[in-house]
Amino acid sequence: MKHPVVVGLQYGDEGKGKITDSLAKQAEWVIRFNGGSNAGHTLWLNGQKLVTHSVPSGVLYSHVKNFIGAGCVIHPLALKKELEELAGAGAKLGSDRLLIDSRAHLTLPIHLALDGAREAGASGIGTTKKGIGPTYTSKTDRSGIRVAQLDAPDLEERIRFLLEVFNPILKAAGQTESTLKENLEVIRVAQQLIGPHVSREATPFYDIAKKSRCVLEGAQGILLDIDHGTYPYVTSSNTIPAFASIGTPFPSSRIGRILGVAKAYLTRVGQGPMPTELHDETGQRIREKGHEFGATTGRPRRTGWLDLDELRLSVRLSDCSGIVLTKSDILSGEAKVAARIDGKLVEFEGWSSVTEGEALHPKMETFVQAIEKHVGIPVVALGTGADRAAMFWRRPIDDFWSDDVST
Ligand code: IMP
């Protein structure tokens, strides 16, 4: 059996949560492999809006087990708030339903302070200020604190070392240094909260992947990949599906269909190039209609037309076999829509609604075919509204867990 991976093909916020949620219905495991509380996946439960950050999007199904992989970083206070909100909405996650890899790294107050200090200066890039970059920095320079160390006898010593390495940076930036006390306070929360959920298995999915249906859920988008994105305006983890295997770990030969999620237009939060950005009232209208305000930070998202040159690159980087085009309904009613193709903005006639009868609206179909022609793979489905069920399957995929990954 091979397992699907869901990734965003743009700059995050493509609506991956909804797609993962719809696959999760048929799955036993939903697995996160990168990022941390910088992500914001919007889900709907009984008409109530829920935003998950670190927790995988399988939380709404009581039969699904959720796994936070080794490639993720965990902000204990944010996770606590998230779990409380989920419990309040009726999705209580016991240790049977949420597992956290002991190799995942912890985001502590020092990391948040470092992210804040960098963002306050001229070299800020518009991060979510959730301490993501500094947590991955401490991971790679081997001063980070892993979940596994929460009950280690030398934990306090490790934290002292972390502070020794990074406090001089805060000091040089004229910021208050982070104290042992404040970091230990968060550690205590983590010990209580994370303790029961820890998975210490070296290869948790080696056997599971042979028999149980898994969905691997990427955070952020391909163009924010630390190696292949628009550096330095990127996040600090790998977002391409190859990382699904590393950041879990998940047996690489068991990775099957890769589904890329892209919005019918483009949004970006934070700095970085965006050739199709709209600074006019059309951009404003799309932002309002599409509720394009950060799920994590509340920041208004920069809005622009779909960039098919970038999308083609993302399709190649992710090697996805099908695109799910989300939020096409937000563009309904626009007289003209546009997309960047070979460096030029090409105009298309707009559509009044995404579907007409049983089929796509002919103008929508023309737009979709232009996407397919330029990027070279099919648009398999379209999101037609906020509702969980609002999807139009253009090429129904019978079995997402099949070994045949041609679409
Ligand atoms: P960081 O991941 O907080 O370090 O932020 C780095 C860049 O990635 C910034 O441009 C953020 O706005 C962007 N970013 C990080 N996570 C997300 C996300 O889930 N959606 C959209 N943008 C994100």
The tens digit of pLDDT for each residue in 218-263 reads 999 999 999 999 999 999 999 999 999 999 999 999 999 999 999 9
Quick one: what percent of the chain has pLDDT higher than 90?
88
> From the CA of 37, how far away is ligand 1's center (Å)?
10
The one catalytic residue among 41, 105, 111, 228:
41
User: What is the pLDDT, as a whole number, of residue 6?
Assistant: 97
Q: Which fold has domain 105-194?
A: Adenylosuccinate Synthetase, subunit A; domain 2 (1.10.300)
Ligand 1 neighbours by CB, cut-off 6 Å: 11-13, 38-40, 125-128, 130, 132-133, 219-220, 224, 233, 235-236, 269-270
pLDDT of 404:
78
For the question of residue 13 being annotated catalytic, the response is yes
pTM: 0.96
| CA angle (132 as vertex; 187, 185 as ends), nearest 5 | 15
- Residue 227 burial (CB count, 10 A): 12
DSSP state of 214: E
β-partners of residue 261 are 8, 324
Q: How confident is the model at residue 47 (pLDDT cuts 50, 70, 90)?
A: confident
Token pair belonging to 402: 């099949």
Q: How far apart (Å, rounded) are the C-alpha atoms in residues 223 and 109? A: 28
Cα–chain center distance at 23: 16
Nearest CA among 87, 90, 130 for reference residue 111: 130
Q: Is residue 396 over pLDDT 90?
A: no
- Name which CATH class applies to 262-401: alpha beta
Task: Give the three-state DSSP class for 259.
Answer: strand
Q: What is the pLDDT of residue 242?
A: 96
Does residue 41 carry a catalytic annotation?
Answer: yes
- At 207 the pLDDT is 97
Question: With bands split at pLDDT 50, 70 and 90, how would you rate the model's confidence at 407?
Answer: low
Q: What is the pLDDT of residues 284-304, one digit of tens each?
A: 999 999 999 987 788 899 999
Q: For a pocket test of ligand 1, which of 235, 263, 267, 299 has the largest count of ligand atoms closer than 8 A to its C-beta?
A: 235
Atom of ligand 1 nearest to the CA of 133: 4
Q: What is the mean pLDDT of the chain?
A: 95
Residue owning the nearest CA to atom 2 of ligand 1 = 235
pLDDT digits (tens, 9 = 90+) for 157-204: 999 999 999 999 999 999 999 999 999 999 999 999 999 999 999 999
How is the chain split into domains, by residue range? 105-194, 262-401
Ligand 1: residue whose CA is nearest its atom 21: 12
Q: How sure is the predictor about 98, in pLDDT bands with cuts at 50, 70 and 90? A: very high
Average of pLDDT values for 63-91? 95
